[in-house]
Each structure stands twice: as C-alpha cells, then as structure tokens.
Structure 1
Amino acid sequence: MATYAKTSSQTLSKTRMSLLSANFQLILQNMKMDEDEILSYVEEFEKKKIEELIVYGFMIVKEENKKMLEMHFKVDWEKHRLYIKDGKEYVEYTEIEGICGLLCTEKYVNTFFNIVENRKFLVTYSIVYGNIVPGEREKLNNKLGLVTSEGDSWRNEPLEKLTDYTSAKLEEQTISIYARKSFKN
C-alpha cells in the first residue's frame, strides 16, 4: 500500500511598503543604531524622502579613511508608484519564501555585515534623498543628525560591483555590494 505525505502551503500577503520598510530597517539594525534613531529614519523612508542608503565598511590606513566595501540599498520610488497605480500594492509570497529570508534581502545584508565584522572594519553611511523640495535637505539632515559630506579623495577610486540583487517580487528595490579596487580578499 502506498503512503502519502500530507503537506500544506500557505500564501502570505504584505504591502510593498511594509516589505521595503522591513528591509530598510534590517540594514539599520545591523548598523547598531538605537531604536529611536531607526524610527526616525524609517519615518522619512516611508514618506519616500530617502531613496538610497549607502553603508561603507572601511579601515584607517596612515591616518586616512579608506572606504573598502559598500552596500547600496536603493528604492526606485517611481517604479513603486507605478506598481501601486496598477493595483499591485500587495506582494504575495509563500511561507517558505518568508522563512528563507523574504526576497533574499537578509542574505545580502548578512554577507556584507559578516565581511565588515570579520575584517574589523569601521562602519559609516550616507543617505541619498529622493524627490524633496528645496530647503528640505537641511531640515532632514538636522532631524536625522546628518551633515552634508565634503568631497573625499577615496570617491575617485574605481568601484567593482561584487553582486547586485533585485527580487522578481519587489523589483523597485535593489541591493548592490561594491568593493574599491584596493580591497583585497
């Protein structure tokens, strides 16, 4: 007599914004920000004022910062708007996709931060604002505790893309990891 395994599957559904926000929050938590700071950033992110978060892993060599590794978390808000307009506010995914680190974001974030920790790199970050009105940059910088960066010499060093990830279910989000040419494995 044949035996059959009983299995079940469940489809879950969340808003695009809640998934984007959770992924953004995951990065901030890995940066060891305190909860109040994270909430301030998430609030502005959900207002679509933050377009990109760039996290740098670096070391100091001869009293000069050397940016070695970068992770770019970017959201194309125009593409997001079009998904919402087309009635695709919700993303459906299976329970397995959720358990495996929804949309693989955790995999890329963890890979980046594992390298940074193993090499004992220092971490810093920058924010790229989206479509904001004139004068709003200073207000956002003050609220988030940021300052406008000066040009750094390391920015001239070429970047090599190590990986790039965009989920088929959340196409407006991209995570890319880059290394400076001077980064040695």
Structure 2
Amino acid sequence: MLRDRQTKIQNLNGKGFTLIELLVTMIIIGILAAIALPSFLNQANKARYSEAKTYTGTMSRLQQVYYLEKQIFAGNISQLNVGIATTTSSFTYSVITGDINGNSNPVQLDRIATNVATPSSSTLGVFEGVVGVTGVLGAQTTTITTVFCIANVLGPGSVARGALDGSGQTTCPLNFTSTD
C-alpha cells in the first residue's frame, strides 16, 4: 500500500512543466515576436505605398493622354476625370504645377506636372509621379516620361515639385528618391 502511494506521488510529479521550462518558452516566443513584429508592421506600409503608386500611376497615364489631346498637362486633378477617390484613409491626391526647375512660378504646364499622394499620417512619406515632356519642344520627336519618387522624410510636409534636369530628363524633387 505504501508502495502504491509512492508510485502515485511520483506520477503526479512527472506531469506538467516546470517553472523554468515555461520561462524559457516564453523568452523564446518573446524574442521571435520582437524579430517578426517590425517586418509585419512594414508590410502594412508597403501596402499603403502600393496604393499610392497605383493612384499616381493612373494619374500620370491620364496626364499623358491629356497632354496628347491638348498639348498641355492638367493643372488640377478634376481636369483628369480620374474616377477614383481623391482622398483615401492613407493619402490625399492632387496635382501641383510649376516650372521645369521645380519652382512654383512660372507655371509651365506645356512641359511638366507633378501628381502627388500626400500621406495622412506621419509614418508614411509623400509619394509623387513627375510627368514631363523630354527633348526639345517643337522637335519631331518628343517623349513624355514619368518618374516615381518617394520623400526621404516621413510626414505630409515634404511635398515638392518635380523638375527636368540639364539634359531634359524628368527628375525627382530635392530630398526625394526615385522608386524606379
């Protein structure tokens, strides 16, 4: 009978986990979560930028069509008849105009326009599609090109105009990086 009780006590002690085993498991799970969480959060921002690239890409293609019809770029988003929301949960979309050097004046809609996705949060950067006529105006061959750019600084305050460089190629504004 004493032997049966000792066997039962030993069986009860052999079941379950020790406190150290539970702590080690929790530490391992915590380390794995700390490694995976930044990557997971970055995926959400990538999806938001994908929306911005899709919208500004659509606006840029419509700018090209508008230019082919009227020999001038649209000065605002309503002229493009985009058919998409100008404001989403992540971005507000607009067109800004300027000259080929990235200044606000004089407006040179016959040469350049910048389609802008301005973020609604400070965790995203401004995304732009700069559309420009490259080559010499009046020449037999001119090309309309687009470059997509993302601001180097996060937040809605870094909206800037695109420009044409010295060789007439469409370029990103200062403090922006090309995504192409």
TM-score normalized by the length of structure 2: 0.26
Q: Quick one: higher RCO (CA 8 Å, sep 6+), 1 or 2?
A: 1
Which of the pair has more CA radius of gyration? Answer: 2
